[in-house]
Every structure is written in structure tokens, then in C-alpha cells.
């Protein structure tokens, strides 16, 4: 972090006052124009992606949802947020939003997470966020984004201080995530876990499952049991074979 000289700080303030943009954006624009204020405006308005978010609005928004006696948005606030957005708290879009926010824990947002997150989405009001909901939901369908969101979900859904994900939570998350992605074996997988496993899910299993979904066909014809798959997935394959759900040519 470099210290800004007085003149630069002034320019930043001016920029923010005029455009209503955040300090971050101000810095970016000024740097891009070599600290010429006029040039920075040109830069700013010629960048379509830099949406106009008003930091004051964002502060207000945060205050609306934050806990009374803590600098965090917790369950109540999250619930209120969902209400205002007219979405079910179980809606996958909440996961996507949390991902944008890099939220550490489900149903909790720090000030930083909340504000930076909304900024990166490019909104500063509930209405604007509501408008963005369809496009946010659609991000699930993008392969690369899905992978990031999927892997993010593990740590996010975990209890604080725990290494693994409780089975119930994991199943819930999987159902949520794969609802949009159509994995034909999702029901078998969840059933298998409840019948045979009954323990928490490790991170390795979580991330490897995605690989499994992506690379192995529903008849499991290209599954190599001598490969490096986690044992739980090996057992799943055995389970499917035993129950005649797939025909594997050994």
C-alpha cells in the first residue's frame, strides 16, 4: 500500500464526489489516467463494466441488515435480505451472491464482504440487486464459474472450526448445486450416503465428486477403480453396481 500525496488524495475525493463511485474505483481511474482528473473522468465513463455504485448507499444498505450490537450481518439480517429480495433463503442465488462476497460462513457477512461483494456485482441498492438476480442465477450454468462456486460452497457451508462438512448439509448443498446442472446420479448419491456412509464429508471427497460428475459417464464405463478416486466414490460405484443401477463391463 503506497501512501498518497495530499494532491492525489484531493483528486480521489473530488472524483468520488462527482461520480459517486467508490474509493477503489477512483484510485483505479486516476491511476489509469496518470492522475489527471479530466482524463480520469474519460476513463471512468468509457468503461462500461465499472458500474456506478455509490459507497454511501452501500453503507446504508449494510447498516440496514447488520446486527445491532455487532459489526456483522448474521442470520436475522440475512433472512431480512432474502425477504427484501423476494427470494427463498434456500435459493441458489444466495450462494452465488455469497460467492461474490467471498463470504466465510453461511448466513454471515462482514462489512467488507458485504460491501466489496455488492460492488463487484455492480449494484448498490436492493432494486438493482433484484434486477441482477436472473443473471446471477445464470452464472451457475457457466462451467468455470460453477467450479469456483462449487468449491467455494464447501468452506462456506462448514461449521466454524470444523474440517469436514456434516452429511445433511452436504446433501442439501449438492441437491442445490446439481439441481441446475442435471447430474442423473444425484439421487443415488444422496441415498447411498445416507444408507452407507453416515459420516461427515471431507474436502477431498467434495472436490473429487465434481471431477467425477464431470468426467465419468452415467453408465460408469470409463471409471477406473484403480485410479486415485477417494474411497467413498469407489464405494458409491460398488453400490451402484450391486444394486444394478449400472451395467459395468469389468
Partner 1 sequence: QDQTPIALEDGWRDMEAGIARLKRILHGVDGTSFTSQEYINLYTMIFNMCTQKPPYDYSEQLYKRYKQALEEYIKSTVLPSLKSKHGEFLLRELVERWKNHKVMVRWLTRFFHYLDRYYVSRKLLLPLKELGLSCFHDLVFGGLKTTLTTIVIDMVDNEREGQLIDRALLKDVVGIYLEIGQGSVGLYELDFEKAFCKGTTDYYSKKAQIWMLEDSCPEYMLKVEDSLQKEKERVGHYLHASTEEKLLEGTILELISWRAEEILYKENSGCRVLLLDGKYEDLSRMYRLFSKIDAGLFHVSKIFKEHVKEEGMSLLKHAADAANGTKNEKKEAVGSPEQEFVRKAIELHDKQLAYVTNCFQNNSAFHKALKAAFEDFCNKDVAGCTSAESLASFCDSILRKGGSEKLSDEVVEDTFDKVVTILSYISDKDLFVEFHRKKLGKRLLFDKSANNEHERSLLSKLKQYFGGQFTAKMEGMLNDVSTARDHQTAFEEYMRDKLPNHRVDFSVTVLTTGFWPSYKTSNINLPSEMIKCVEIFKDYYNSKQKSKRLTWIYSMGNCNIVAKFDAKPIELIVTTYQAAMLLLFNGSERLSYSEIVTQLNLPDDDAVRLLHSLSCAKYKILNKVPSNRIISPNDVFQVNHKFIDKMRRIKVPLPPTDEKKKVVEDVNKDRRFSIDASIVRIMKSRKVMGHQQLVAECVEQLSRMFKPDIKIIKRRIEDLISREYLERDLETANTYRYLA
Interacting residue ranges for partner 1, rule: CB under 8 A? 163-164, 202-205, 208, 211, 226-228, 230-231, 234
Decide: 101 and 94 in contact? Cβ < 8 Å.
Answer: no
- Give the residue with the Cβ less far from partner 1, 121 or 237: 237
Of the candidates 28, 24, 22, the residue with the CA atom closest to the CA atom of residue 43: 28
CB of 204 to partner 1, least distance (A): 5
Of the candidates 160, 72, 162, 197, the residue with the CA atom closest to the CA atom of residue 174: 197
- Give the residue with the Cβ less far from partner 1, 10 or 211: 211
Cβ neighbours of 246 (radius 10 Å): 17
**DSSP class of residue 110?**
E
CB of 139 to partner 1, least distance (A): 22
CB of 247 to partner 1, least distance (A): 23
Give every CB contact of residue 18 below 8 A, 6+ residues apart in sequence.
41
Report d(CA 51, CA 188) in Å as an integer: 44
CB of 234 to partner 1, least distance (A): 7
CB of 170 to partner 1, least distance (A): 15
CB of 172 to partner 1, least distance (A): 22
Helix pair angle (203-215, 231-242), 10° resolution: 50
- Give the residue with the Cβ less far from partner 1, 28 or 164: 164
| Residue 4 Cα distances to 30, 74, 245, angstroms | 12, 35, 65
- Give the residue with the Cβ less far from partner 1, 227 or 244: 227
- Give the residue with the Cβ less far from partner 1, 163 or 250: 163
Q: Which three cell numbers stand for residue 185?
A: 446420479
- Give the residue with the Cβ less far from partner 1, 91 or 238: 238
| Residue 71 Cα distances to 23, 112, 116, angstroms | 21, 10, 15
Amino acid at each position: 500500500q503506497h501512501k498518497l500525496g495530499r494532491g492525489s488524495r484531493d483528486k480521489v475525493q473530488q472524483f468520488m464526489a462527482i461520480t459517486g463511485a467508490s474509493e477503489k474505483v477512483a484510485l483505479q481511474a486516476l491511476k489509469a489516467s496518470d492522475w489527471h482528473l479530466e482524463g480520469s473522468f474519460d476513463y471512468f465513463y468509457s468503461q462500461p463494466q465499472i458500474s456506478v455504485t455509490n459507497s454511501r448507499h452501500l453503507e446504508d444498505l449494510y447498516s440496514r441488515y447488520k446486527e445491532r450490537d455487532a459489526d456483522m450481518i448474521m442470520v436475522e439480517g440475512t433472512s431480512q435480505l432474502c425477504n427484501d429480495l423476494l427470494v427463498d433463503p434456500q435459493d441458489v442465488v444466495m450462494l452465488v451472491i455469497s460467492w461474490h462476497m467471498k463470504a466465510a460462513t453461511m448466513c454471515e457477512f462482514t462489512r467488507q464482504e458485504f460491501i466489496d461483494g455488492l460492488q463487484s456485482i455492480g449494484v448498490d441498492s436492493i432494486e438493482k440487486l433484484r434486477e441482477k438476480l436472473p443473471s446471477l442465477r445464470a452464472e451457475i450454468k457457466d462451467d468455470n464459474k460453477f467450479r469456483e462456486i462449487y468449491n467455494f460452497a464447501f468452506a462456506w457451508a462448514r461449521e466454524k472450526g470444523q474440517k469436514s462438512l456434516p452429511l445433511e448439509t452436504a446433501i442439501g448443498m449438492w441437491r442445490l448445486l446439481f439441481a441446475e446442472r442435471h447430474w442423473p446420479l444425484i439421487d443415488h448419491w444422496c441415498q447411498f450416503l445416507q444408507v452407507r456412509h453416515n459420516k461427515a464429508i471431507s474436502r477431498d471427497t467434495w472436490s473429487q465428486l465434481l471431477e467425477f460428475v464431470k468426467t465419468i459417464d452415467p453408465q460408469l464405463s470409463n471409471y477406473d477403480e484403480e485410479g486415485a478416486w477417494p474411497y467413498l466414490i469407489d464405494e458409491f460405484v460398488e453400490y451402484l453396481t450391486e444394486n444394478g443401477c449400472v451395467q459395468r463391463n469389468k
